[in-house]
Amino acid sequence: MTKRKIRFSLVYRDMWQSSGKYQPRVDQLRRVAPHIVEMGCFDRIETNGGAFEQVQLLYGENPNKAVREWTRIFNEAGIETHMLERALNGIRMFPVPADVRRLMFRVKKAQGVDIARSFCGLNDHRNLELSIKYAREAGMISQATLSITYSPVHTVKYYMDVVDRVVEYGTDEICLKDMAGVGRPAMLGELVRSIRKKYPDLVIQYHGHVGPGLSMASMYEVAHAGVDYLDVAMEPLSWGMVHPDVIAVQAMLRDAGFDVPDINMDAYMKVRSLTKEFMDDFLGYFIDPRNRQMTSLLIGSGLPGGMMGSMMADLKGVHTGINNTLKAGNQPELTEDELLVRLFKEVEYIWPKMGYPPLVTPFSQYVKNVAIMNIIQLTNGKERFSMIDNNTWDMLLGRAGMLPATPAPEILEIAEMEGKSLYTGVPQDNFPDQLNKYIKEMEENGWDRGPDDEELFEFAMHERQYRDYKSGIARQRFNEEIESKADEERESRKQKVDDGDRNPDIIYAPYNGIILFSVGSSECIPMETLDIARGETVTKGQRICYMESGTNYSEIVSDRSGKIRKMMCNHGDFLMKGEPIIEFA
């Protein structure tokens, strides 16, 4: 019996996007791409789309050059490339005129991108129709995408209704985008089987984030159900809030009897090493340690794990104000973790009331923002939903697409009081063509429209960021941000240890990572249960603790024999390189 083949796609740039703020520079992409090819296990590579090109502009780099350089290496190796685009929102966070959307596909095809992965965060097939049409018109493979979530309305039938419509529009492939990793394995398997049974020749790809911990089971289920491609990641950015590692996925599926490709481990280690080098260069400054960990708390809220960094930044911004209000009312203050749990619970509560929008960009941000504002308003004795921004109203009232369910009566009552009404038309009709405006301004400024009109496209898609890029302000801001981050890290280290005058009786962290005095848990545990404790005598070469950095564990051993006088950190603490671990007597 012939083994069924499963192919892998490396989501190298989404690995970064799910971990932190920035992407590798074009020179770094050029360095790592040949070694990704040498790994020999990828039939596809994700190369651009989503927020990637905005990120390039933010640090003053030309995103068109980055896409061309990145895709060229894979094109020459015969590896297919795919991009991510948000249908009505193109590759930005708000709606795009139809003529700009159409130009995008022509530009991306010319730049070497083979596949357009198109998703509507609301699963509104009307928003996907033009993406499918424009992709195929440009000569790209159209991959219509289902935004996967878990709710009473997001059933197999619900998703199959979307599949039927996008097949009618002419899509070549289907992708299941499990952006929060909350899709239940059994349901995903049933959905893939349903697609495979009704459309046996349709290519199916699965994209699932690790986040709450269901993705390996989901991959196993969809593989057995008939999926063709699986999106995978690799160290040091796999797992956490990112994607499963290709090594683990390969081992699981090979044991289950699937035909999966071999991995050139020498090349894997080279890519791994380069990725770590990029992190050490500057990208690591923008990776929140929490994004390197999994949390099943996300199952209840359904929020994407990649949002943990922005959520924590938001919560830190309001934490003091909330606690000041509670304190003034003689109520107990909240810790950061208690506030995070309260946010998750608020999202769970308001999500059905907001019509069950799949929690993917930008709608996940809208729901999260309302949840935070509700917590603030409730703390101040006010009502829920008393502060909703215009973008969220567009989602709630149908201007961004049709919600899976009708918003709650209390939200519609607020809309009526504010003179707002439901919109039932085609969302694209609200956003007239604008390319002529951008063409005129580029001519007036003497700006080159670029090969295949790629500079015109970038200006029309990311107007504000493109202006900052052209003026040089973006590069200036980025350099200032890097310097600020470097200063913060230096100050953090200085607070605990003066690098120029280290105490010889102290063992310091050799790199950034999580300290584990006892294996099997990163939670706080009693000191007396630790493998090593204050007052214990150790010998040279004896293990002091473990250190977790990314997905790697290493032993920290004593460089001397002696008695431990003081534990300088707690089990589970995240230490920067150079911070103290223990002190000898």
Query: How many angstroms separate the CA atoms of 357 and 364, rounded?
Result: 8
Q: What is the pLDDT of residues 291-323, one digit of tens each?
A: 788 888 778 777 776 565 566 667 777 888 888
Indicate the DSSP class of residue 504: T
Q: What percent of the chain has pLDDT over 70?
A: 92
Mean pLDDT of 175-192: 96
Query: 198-202, 223-227, 330-334, 470-474: which has the minimum mean pLDDT?
Result: 330-334
What pLDDT is stored for residue 490 in this prediction? 67
Per the CB < 8 A criterion, the answer to whether 369 and 393 are in contact is: no
Which region among 16-30, 165-179, 440-454 has the lowest average model confidence (pLDDT)?
A: 16-30
**What tokens does 360 get?**
């993917």
Contact of 199 with 167, CB cutoff 8 Å: yes
pLDDT of residue 272: 95
Give the pLDDT band (50/70/90) at residue 363. Answer: confident
Look up residue 272 and give its two tokens: 């791994």
- Highest mean pLDDT range out of 233-237, 300-304, 560-564? 233-237
What is the distance of C-alpha 316 from the center of its chain?
20
Mean pLDDT of 355-374: 87
Tell me the pLDDT tens digit for each residue of 135-157: 999 999 999 999 999 999 999 99
- Please tell me the number of Cα atoms within 13 Å of 342 on its side-chain side: 18
pLDDT at 505: 87
Position 576 scores a pLDDT of 81
Q: Which residue has the higher pLDDT, 203 or 541?
A: 203
In the sheet with 580-584, reading across from the earlier edge strand, the strands are 506-508, 580-584, 562-567, 537-538
pLDDT digits (tens, 9 = 90+) for 153-176: 999 999 999 999 999 999 999 999
21 within 8 A of 14, measured Cβ to Cβ: no
Averaged pLDDT of the chain: 89
Q: Using an 8 Å Cβ cutoff, are 83 and 118 in contact? A: no
CA distance 455 to 465: 13
Residues 343 and 372: beta-carbon distance below 8 Å: yes
d(CA 444, CA 192) in angstroms, rounded, equals 52
- Give pLDDT tens digits for 416-446: 999 999 998 999 999 999 999 999 999 999 9
* Of 153-157, 568-572, 581-585, the least confident: 568-572
pLDDT in tens, 85-101: 999 999 998 899 999 99
- For residue 230, what pLDDT is reported? 98
| Omega of the bond leading into 358 within 30 degrees of 0 (cis) | no
- Give the pLDDT band (50/70/90) at residue 381: confident
Burial 434-465 (b: 16+ CB within 10 A, else e): ebeebeeebeeeeeebbebbbbbbbbbbbeeb
Give the mean model confidence (pLDDT) for residues 344-369.
Answer: 89
With contact defined as beta carbons under 8 Å apart, do 170 and 136 qualify?
A: yes
- What is residue 310's predicted lDDT score, i.e. its pLDDT? 61
Q: List the single range of 115-124, 167-176, 511-520, 526-535 with lowest mean pLDDT.
A: 526-535
Q: Is 436 helix (H, G, I), strand (E, B) or coil?
A: helix
Residue 151: which region, alpha, beta or left (left: phi > 0; alpha: psi -120 to 50)? beta
Residue 512: predicted pLDDT: 80
Cα 255 to the chain's mean position, in Å?
29
Mean pLDDT is highest, among 42-46, 472-476, 526-530, for 42-46
**Integer Cα distance of 377 and 64 in angstroms:** 43
Structural domains in the chain plus CATH codes: 7-292 (3.20.20.70), 297-429 (1.10.472), 433-470 (no CATH), 497-584 (2.40.50.100)
> Contact 286/278 with Cβ under 8 angstroms?
no
| DSSP track, 362-421 | THHHHHHHHHHHHHHHHHTT--TTS---HHHHHHHTTSS---SSPPPHHHHHHHHHTT--
For tokens 């007239």, what's the residue?
432
Question: What pLDDT, in 10s, does the model give residues 241-295?
Answer: 899 999 999 999 999 999 999 999 999 999 999 999 999 888 988 887 777 888 8
* Phi, psi for 170 (deg, rounded to 5): 110, 15
pLDDT tier at 550, thresholds 50, 70, 90: low
How many other CB atoms are there within 10 angstroms of residue 551's CB atom? 18
pLDDT tier for residue 495 given thresholds of 50, 70 and 90 = low
pLDDT at 524: 44
